[in-house]
Chains A and B, each alone.
Chain A
Amino acid sequence: MPLWAEIAITVCLVIGGLFGLVGSFGLMRLPDPMQRLHAPTKAATVGVGAVLIASMLYFFADRGHISTHELLITLFIFLTAPITALFISKVHLHLKMRSEDLPTPKEGAGWAGYTATGPARGVRDMPEKRNE
């Protein structure tokens, strides 16, 4: 394997490992739940991305052909991370916040989810559980 490939792969791996460690450390140490939501995005973007770039370089330098599986994994994680973050923050809002505690949006429009009177059987039916 040529030297430039070894150096590039090593740099990518070290950067990815440090970012993954920082993301999980932030998840462990940050005080507020919404701040904790912010920390693991570092591990999900730069951590996984750098390791996938290192893997692509490794198999390109080792076998001589470009593999594209890694791009699929990156694409999937980049597509699903915002959806997951939205769902987790909505779970946090619905379990811990009343709609009076939240800032009011413009033009009298309520927060999405709080205005619904739909068929939910979940948290909305047990308001005494909300501020436990």
Chain B
Amino acid sequence: MIVYAIFFAAICFALGLLMNLWRLIVGPERSDRILALDTMAINAITLLILMGMHLGFALYFEVSMLFALVGFISTVSYCRFLLRGDIIE
């Protein structure tokens, strides 16, 4: 039962990744593209956790923690670059 639930959730989040990719390519504004990248990072975190559950391997939490850090830093630095023309003034 858990295996099917894990597959269901993984399919949901993978479909979400495809939708975010559509918004990233089409998105009429730069803020839409940044938002799509941020949501892609969150969906990837969830997929990594699901993969860790499926394989029964606890190391994937550290991987998803690193993914959360990198996604946050990239979003903030891109926004700051667009807002101020510089990242660290």
Q: Count A/B pairs, Cβ under 8 Å.
A: 180
Q: CB-nearest residue of chain B relative to A39? A: B39
Number of interface residues of A (CB under 8 A): 58
A40 to B: closest C-beta gap in Å:
4
A88-B75, A122-B81 in contact; A17/B8 too (CB < 8 A)?
yes
Contacts of A95 in B (CB 8 A): 29-31, 82
Out of A73, A89, A96, which one reaches B65, CB within 8 Å?
A: A73
The residue in A7, A23, A87, A125 that gathers the most chain B C-beta atoms within 10 A of its C-beta is: A87
Contacts of A6 in B (CB 8 A): 1-2
Contact B52 A36 (CB under 8 A): no
Contacts of A20 in B (CB 8 A): 9, 12-13, 16, 43, 46
Main SS at interface, chain A:
helix
Query: What separation, in Å, do the CA atoms of A13 and B46 have in the docked complex?
Result: 11
Contacts of A54 in B (CB 8 A): 5, 53
Chain B residues in the interface with A (C-beta under 8 A): 1-2, 4-6, 8-13, 15-17, 19-20, 22-23, 29-32, 34-36, 38-39, 42-43, 45-46, 49-50, 52-53, 56, 58, 61-62, 64-65, 68-69, 72, 75-76, 79-86, 89
User: Could you list 13 examples of A-B contacts with CB < 8 Å?
Assistant: A13-B50, A16-B9, A17-B8, A18-B12, A21-B16, A36-B23, A69-B62, A73-B61, A76-B68, A87-B76, A95-B30, A95-B82, A121-B85
Kindly list the 9 A-B residue pairs having the minimum CB-CB distance in the complex, ordered from nearest: A122-B85, A24-B16, A121-B85, A17-B12, A17-B9, A87-B79, A69-B61, A92-B31, A13-B5
Q: Given contacts A67-B58, A88-B79, list 8 more A-B pairs with CB under 8 A.
A: A17-B13, A20-B9, A21-B13, A25-B19, A28-B19, A76-B69, A77-B45, A122-B81
